Structure 1
Amino acid sequence: MNTKPLLHRTTGFLLLLFCLQIVMILTTGQRIKGEESIPKYNVLFVAIDDLNDWVGCLGGNPQVKTPNLDRFAREGGIVFTQAYCPSTVCCPSRSALLTGKHATHTGVYGNGQNLKHASKAKDLETLPEYFGNRGYHTLSAGKIFHKHGDPAGMDEGQWAFHEHVHPGGGNKGFSWEEEPKIDGIKAGGTKFAWGATKAATEETKDFMACKWAADQLDRDFDGKPFFLALGLSKPHLPWYVPQEFFDLYPLDQVVPAPFRRDDLDDIVRDNSRPIFGPGDRFRLADGTKMHAQANRAYLANVSYADHCIGVTLDALDQSDYADNTIVMIWGDHGWHLSEKLQYGKTNLWEESARVPFLVRVPGSVHKDIQCNGVVNLIDIYPTLLELCGLPPNNKNDGRSFAALLADPAKEWTYPTLTTYQYKNHSITDGRYRYTWYGGRAEGAEELYDHTDDPLEYTNLASNPEYENVLVRLRTHLPSHHEPDSPSNPYNELKKSNTKGNSSDL
């Protein structure tokens, strides 16, 4: 009997099987028995717009009700108590996180600058692209990149994903609305208003985005690992959510955030003139005695966002991906609720720069853990690459904190950078915050010791006892300041395309 054809067929079959296993390793991260390669985890990447530390597990406001985020923390999520943003406004913060480069290297300092029009940013491989180009299926809904007008349609960063969807949802009018108004005072930016939507919770935008994300967890993605990005627009202004979330906070029980009316007096130029004054939104809330109403509205919006996120987290926990998915939940920057006489962001104080950041890694033994290590959102890019076994991107500015996830008690006090506009920078090492105004007010400085002044009431920059601290932190200021990239020439298209939409622009 001639066995050569059978032998050839058997050898060919074994060779084909071997090749298929190699392809499986390269595309899904699965192991051949005996191999020690790092598995490619899935990634659930959740961005929340304008969320500060008013989250139960962060303790920023004891009144807030965030049961889903709190449960996530109790059941394996590590809560970073000292996480900071690369910039204190949406576009430059997200652009830095997603490109892995600080604004000082790209020139993307403001909301009007599209990274795709910045010569130093347009060709960078963004975080979702990096995953998508290395075997992951990438998909998104909601705001991940900042939105920009474009002749071909709204640029939402859809080009960075294999799938980008608009699940729908809206307000359908309002049962009631409040907007503090005073003749002669007009707050710029998004409308400073709040109220109850007529739409049921299940019909609103963030809920439908989170439900869409939950539904994706029933898919198999053709055997590939996934990178699922989900963006929530609340608690971004205007603060419109269903009545049930306002009902969680009876107005007569709301305690507004504390502030000091002389808080800005010690932040001065060389000629001793103050740099800052009360913000227009603060003046509106203060002049109409509506601090409690504004605080209540923000609390309601935070609870709404938490409720929506719970839909996705519950679906993940009940899915086949529960034990092999990294979850990162982050806010793009902080938000003031009257502290420093401001309602908003776009400053370099702690309330603007500090962000909520929760992480869960498969196999982690840590539960209900708060990590005090100093991290920055720009560190997310290199950290996810390391956790998922992808090669490092040598263009990243950030530092992987994978070792900190393995040991949350590890000392991690590397000074980290937050920038707002050209040549205005803040450095924090977890104890001190140092700020230098090279663009806004040449040479002006701030220094705060959070050991006994967490709300940053007393500027120590002129105190000679702290000269050594100032000298040390100054060495961490950027040595390169990329000029402003061009403003997006199509921003007016964005305004016309989104007229009447209460989501973040």
Structure 2
Amino acid sequence: LYGLGSHLRKTWPTAVTIPQHFAKHGYRTESLGKVYHIGHGNKGDPESFSVPHFKEKVIEYVDPASKPEDGLTREEAMFQNQPSPPGGMNKLPRGAAFESPDVEDDAYADGRVAAETVKRLQAAKQREEPFFIVAGFARPHLPFSAPKKYWDLYDPKKFKLAENSDLPEGSPKVAQKRGGEIRNYFPVPDKNDPAQITKELARKLIHGYYASTSYVDAQIGRVTDALERLNLADDTIVILWGDHGFHLGDLGIWTKHTNYEQANRIPILISAPGVTQANSSTRQLAESVDIFPTLAELAGLPAPAGPQPIDGVSLVPVLKNPAERVRDHAFHAYPKRKMGRAIRTERFRLVEWKQPGAPRKSAEIELYDYREDPLETKNIAMGKPAEVKRLRAILDRYPEAVGRNGKPVKKTKSDKVN
């Protein structure tokens, strides 16, 4: 499942997801908003939930000037699973990268998702059965559409632009990125326009990201306030997590789709009454797959057992004692014209780029030292062969990717910069 068009039930028809695991043990499971990334060929997974999904928009505008009067923008079409027009999605018009109308929170999808989630909590309070609710919020995903009051929280003159806007010295071409998703939005130069993002525009985009983050923070607050108001907070586990990080001009990159730090470092916040301590944190490396066994243990359920592989480990020992350690590295992967598989330790990140199944010697390697070079300015793989060998040995524990339906991955002729 390495692409948005990969369908869970075609790859693992009998897979047991987190909500299915909870449903099997008596929980009512519900989903709202951006869950399972519906769009870009993905239809979601209705089998995971007890009731129909509460669908909302991901790409949304209130200001009429932000999109064409008729038809869909590129990103709207992709998130609505519309067929590609002749010539491809790039033939469709672009929408705005940001807008800041003076509107109420519920003018946008995240506000409506928060409001509906509160209603679901109120209903859950009246029922006897335990509940498992997944509320998916879109912001701060592009476009940075957020009410004006959240933009007004910040003085754009105080935003600092990225300290390093150059690609890492010695990085392989396949690892690099220029343009991409950000160019689906105006006034960013379009994909065929060689113009770069100006400092003025970069500052506006950063402002939009911060405004969008504050907006979604307020919506999450509405949900957690409801838990308190309904006297559910003392008996409810809350996990807040994101599916990826976000480049804001560092390395000259915007959005995600890389194996660098800013795209792969995500928030994972866990509140478990009687287990976690307020205002505590840990330097424990973790992966999103750890959430499944962690939630199961916190809820007193049996550990998940598949039938699909369960790669995560429970973080409960760390939640009880932030100094505990349950793993010494994290694995992540991002596929481009080669598969990029990575190992992140507290100090280093190694990325191996090669076609799945190809000989080891065909790989292109990146190595970054975050103690000495936190901004990833230089690939030091050539200068540290012993560290590369050690981390590749860890990487070898993880199976390589196979193609969809178990077929070998197709090889490509070249590696181009995205």
TM-score (normalised: structure 1): 0.66
CA distance in 1, matches of 2:121, 2:219: 16
- CA shift, 1:218, in A, is 2.1
Deviations 1:391-424 (A, max 9, x none): 1123311111111111112234422210112632
Q: CA deviation at 1:338?
A: 0.8
Q: Does 1:226 align with 2:107?
A: no
Question: Of 318, 324, 328, which aligns to 1:410?
Answer: 324
Q: Is the 8 A contact 1:136 1:224 kept in 2?
A: yes
Q: What's 2:157 paired with?
A: 252
Q: Give runs of aligned pairs for residues 367-386 of structure 1, distance below 5 A.
A: 367-386=278-297
Matched, 1:163 2:51: yes
Equivalent in the alignment of 2:70: none
In 1, Cα distance between equivalents of 2:143 and 2:301: 40
Letter in 2 for 1:461: A
Relative to structure 1, the CA distance from residue 424 to residue 277 in structure 2 (aligned partners, 3 Å threshold; closer, same or farther) is closer
- Report what 2:62 is aligned to: 173
* Deviation digits for residues 21-43 of structure 1 (CA, Å, limit 9, x no counterpart): xxxxxxxxxxxxxxxxxxxxxxx
CA distance in 2: counterparts of 1:305 and 1:199, whole angstroms: 15
Change (3 A) 1:445 1:470: same
Please tell me the root mean square deviation across aligned C-alpha atoms, in Å: 3.0
Rounded to whole Å, the distance in 2 between the matches of 1:189 and 1:413 is 46
Q: Which structure has the higher relative contact order (CA within 8 Å, separation 6+)?
A: 1
Q: Which residue of 2 aligns with 1:279?
A: 179
- CA distance in 2 between partners of 1:326 and 1:274 (Å): 41
Distance 1:452 1:187, change over 3 A: farther
Q: 1:238 aligns to what?
A: 143
Partner of 1:50: none
Deviations 1:359-386 (A, max 9, x none): 0111136221121101111011111111
Offset at residue 189 of structure 1 (A) = 12
1:344 aligned partner: 255
Give the 3-state SS of the residue equivalent to 2:391 in structure 1: helix
> Cα distance, 1:209 vs. partner?
0.7
Q: Structure 1 pair 265/449, CA: closer, same or farther in 2 (3 Å)?
A: closer
Deviation at 1:486, TM superposition (A): 6.1
Q: TM-score, normalised by structure 2?
A: 0.78
Q: Which residue of 1 aligns with 2:341?
A: 425
- Distance in 1, matches of 2:282 and 2:93, equals 34
CA distance in 1, matches of 2:391, 2:121: 45
* Aligned residue identity for 1:163: V
Q: Deviations over 1:208-257 (max 9, x none)?
A: 11121122222336311111110001111111111111112233332223
1:334–1:353 contact (8 Å) kept in structure 2: yes
Contact 1:190 1:237 in 2 (8 A): no
- For 1:188 and 1:266, locate their aligned partners in 2 and report how far apart those are by CA, in whole Å: 36
Any unmatched runs of 5+ in structure 1?
Answer: 1-107, 179-185, 488-505
- For the residues of structure 1 that align with 2:223 and 2:97, how far apart are their CA atoms? 28
Deviations 1:77-129 (A, max 9, x none): xxxxxxxxxxxxxxxxxxxxxxxxxxxxxxx11112121222xx232011101
Read off the aligned partner of 2:299 and give its amino acid letter. Answer: C
Aligned residue for 1:217, secondary structure, equals helix
Supply the distance in 2 between the matched residues of 1:116 and 1:172 (Cα, whole angstroms).
33
Question: How do 1:383-394 and structure 2 match up within 5 A?
Answer: 383-394=294-305
Question: 1:318 aligns to what?
Answer: 229
Deviations 1:259-289 (A, max 9, x none): 233x333113xxxx78525335488484443
- Compute the displacement of 1:207 (Å): 0.9
| 1:66-145 matched pairs, under 5 angstroms | 108-118=1-11, 121-145=12-36
- Residue 468 of structure 1 is matched in structure 2 by 386
Q: Which amino acid aligns with 2:50?
A: H
Superposed CA deviations along residues 157-214 of structure 1, whole A, max 9, x for unmatched, are 2331112343768956317659xxxxxxx89998561112464213321011112112
Give the counterpart letter for 1:475 in structure 2.
A
1:300 Cα deviation from its structure 2 partner = 0.9
Q: 1:327 aligns with which of 197, 217, 238?
A: 238
Whole-Å separation in 1 of the counterparts to 2:253 and 2:259: 12
2:141 corresponds to which letter in structure 1? H
Please point out which of 100, 104, 111 is paired with 1:200: 104
CA contact (8 A) 2:171 2:378 kept: no
The answer to whether the 8 Å contact 1:195/1:241 transfers is: yes
- Distance in 1, matches of 2:161 and 2:351, equals 27
Q: Secondary structure of the residue that 1:420 maps to in structure 2?
A: strand
1: CA distance, partners of 2:355 / 2:126: 48
Distance 1:199 1:486 in 2: 47
Residues 62 and 107, structure 2, Cα contact 8 Å, conserved in 1? no
In the other structure, the counterpart of 2:367 is 447
Distance 1:411 1:368, change over 3 A: same
- Counterpart of 1:393, as a letter, is P
Asked if structure 1 preserves the Cα contact closer than 8 Å seen for 2:243 and 2:266, the reply is yes
Q: Which whole-Å CA distance do the structure 2 matches of 1:472 and 1:278 have between them?
A: 31
Q: Quick one: structure 1 residues 486 and 295, their matched pair in 2 at CA, closer, same or farther if it must change by over 3 Å?
A: farther
Q: Tell me, in whole angstroms, the C-alpha distance in 1 between the residues paired with 2:133 and 2:331.
A: 27
2:234 is paired with a residue whose SS is coil
CA deviations on 1:449-494 (whole Å, 9 max, x unpaired) are 111222211211010xx3222122112225522422269xxxxxxx
Q: Which moved more, 1:357-366 or 1:321-330?
A: 357-366
AA matched with 2:347? R
Give the counterpart letter for 2:349 in structure 1.
R
Query: Structure 1 residues 199 and 416 mapped into 2: Cα distance closer, same or farther (>3 Å)?
Result: same
**Letter paired with 2:345:** D
Check the 8 A contact 1:175/1:197 in 2, yes or no.
Answer: no
SS in 2 for 1:227: strand
Deviation at 1:390, TM superposition (A): 1.2
Q: Secondary structure at the match of 2:245?
A: coil
Whether contact under 8 Å (1:141, 1:164) holds in the other structure is no
State the alpha-carbon separation in 2 of the partners of residues 406 and 242 from structure 1: 39
| Count of paired positions | 362
Native 8 Å contact 2:370 2:376 kept in 1:
yes
Question: How many percent identity over aligned positions?
Answer: 27
Local SS of the residue matching 1:417: strand
Q: Does 1:214 align with 2:108?
A: no
Tell me, yes or no, if the aligned pair for 2:37 and 2:44 is still in contact at 8 Å. Answer: yes
